[in-house]
Structure 1
Amino acid sequence: MTILVIEDDQKTGDYLKKGLRESGYAVDLARNGIDGLHLAMEQSYELVIIDVMMPGLDGWTVMQSLRSKQDMPVIFLTARDHVDDRIRGLQLGADDYLVKPFSFTELVLRIRTLLRRGIRRDADIYQVADLQLDTVRHKITRQHIPIVLTSKEFMLLHLLIKLHDEALSRTIIASQIGDMNFDNDTNVVDVAVKRLRATDARCLARR
């Protein structure tokens, strides 16, 4: 299996290339967005890892161009840790989003999960019974009634709907939703889910 790494930081790029090769993957390394996009368009890869902040073409632009012609698993690996950045990356079509500094073991586990799962593109609109989630317009309605959520709550609901057929631990949920400051001694995920339920109840009460 061959992975393409698009990373302009020399130390990080070399580290990823060496570590992934030791984990059993063949690796191509591009040092900028232009070269990375060219490789991704011209060759076949099982997975692509993309940084965001790069000279020439940034990761957002590479992702947009890549999704217009290629359909392969993509992980954003970046220092941009704001919730809105995560949302943007996922809306552009990334399958996962990991923030630097990162655990290499976690990265490998996420790679294996994506490769095992296969390609599963995000829909623009998810429909679950009478609830509709629009990932492009960032809107949610229940029985045609708008539901107002914070960015973090939107990401949580999106994650729960997108992976409804998988068992998600609190740790996995927290790792996918930025700025949750999660640790095993808190119930932050439970609180976030409770808020979603309360918001839904208020929405139905307005009917």
Structure 2
Amino acid sequence: MQSLKGIKILLVDDEPNILQFLEMGLLNEGLEVQTAQDGMTAVTLAKEFQPHIIILDVMMPGMDGFEVCRMLKKTENVAIIMLTAKDEVDDRVKGLTLGADDYMMKPFSFEELLARIQARIRNQFPNLMGEVVIGDFRIDDRRKEILYQQRVLELSTTEYELLKFMVLNQGIVLSKAKILDKVWGYDFGGDENIVEVYIRSLRDKLNDKEHRLIRTLRGAGYRVDIS
């Protein structure tokens, strides 16, 4: 597992034992950690501490985790992993609809939490991880450079952002609308078929003639498959 030093985490849970356990473990991994036992404190701390990730319990007295998520996603650039003790699909859907980035069921292993944190950093704050290696890809966000099979790819700025987004979300089907929103921006007013043009160019540069690396799922979008 790559180093998580310098990553700031806010833990929010009304159970002191859980907070203490997670705080000790995350501090030992080199993360900067703050804790809160209620929603209002969490909102205030988030604005002051500016965490990269919030581990947020759903069931809390007063302001619950859903409301905390809703408020912070409006104003803060933060990844939110929600925790719940209830195996309820409706809760998961509600949290994700409000902007949560991931969901974990209690009880969970500390190792799984670390893996989820690393995944969120890779996806939302890749520059904090330095170089990210996924399969045959090496992404260096500081140099805006991607290597594939130890070869530097000659990419335009948009090609770089598109390939980085797809590789970081490898295994996930990405619709054209999702790609446009994340790579071109929500206010892009052009034709969504521009995605096809850039995908074609990336396949050429990756020598992906048989579309085994960047797959097309008709009617759904694209998926990067990395063995």
1:74 and 2:73 correspond: no
Q: Which amino acid aligns with 1:94?
A: A
> Deviation string for 1:79-136 (max 9, x for gaps)?
122111111111110110000011110010010011011169xxxxx8559xxxxxxx
> Deviation string for 1:49-85 (max 9, x for gaps)?
1001112210011011111111211100121221111
| Structure 1 residue ranges, 4+ long, deviating more than 6 angstroms after superposition | none
Instruction: State whether residues 84 and 105 of structure 2, in contact with CA within 8 Å, keep that contact through their aligned partners in structure 1.
Output: yes
Q: Any gaps of 5 or more consecutive residues in structure 1?
A: 121-125, 130-160, 170-207
SS across alignment from 1:16: helix
1:83 and 2:83 correspond: no
Residues 30/166 of structure 1: CA separation in 2 closer, same or farther (3 Å cut): farther
Which runs of structure 2 are paired with 1:161-176 in the superposition (5 Å)? 165-167=223-225
Residues 7/168 of structure 1: CA separation in 2 closer, same or farther (3 Å cut): farther
Question: CA offset at residue 13 of structure 1?
Answer: 0.7
The corresponding residue for 1:190 is none
The corresponding residue for 1:103 is 109
1:10 and 2:8 correspond: no
Which runs of structure 2 are paired with 1:102-121 in the superposition (5 Å)? 102-118=108-124
> Deviation string for 1:150-202 (max 9, x for gaps)?
xxxxxxxxxxx79x545599xxxxxxxxxxxxxxxxxxxxxxxxxxxxxxxxx
Which runs of structure 2 are paired with 1:1-207 in the superposition (5 Å)? 1-118=7-124, 128=176, 165-167=223-225
Which whole-Å CA distance do the structure 1 matches of 2:55 and 2:22 have between them? 10
Question: CA offset at residue 42 of structure 1?
Answer: 2.6
> Deviation string for 1:11-49 (max 9, x for gaps)?
111111011111221110111111011111233111111
Which whole-Å CA distance do the structure 2 matches of 1:92 and 1:70 have between them? 13
Q: Any gaps of 5 or more consecutive residues in structure 2?
A: 1-6, 126-164, 166-173, 178-219
Instruction: State whether residues 55 and 81 of structure 2, in contact with CA within 8 Å, keep that contact through their aligned partners in structure 1.
Output: yes
Q: Which amino acid aligns with 1:21?
A: L
Q: Which amino acid aligns with 1:5?
A: L
Q: Which amino acid aligns with 1:59?
A: G
Q: Which amino acid aligns with 2:59?
A: M
Residues 50/113 of structure 1: CA separation in 2 closer, same or farther (3 Å cut): same
Percent identical residues = 40
Residues 127/117 of structure 1: CA separation in 2 closer, same or farther (3 Å cut): closer
Which whole-Å CA distance do the structure 1 matches of 2:101 and 2:176 have between them? 21
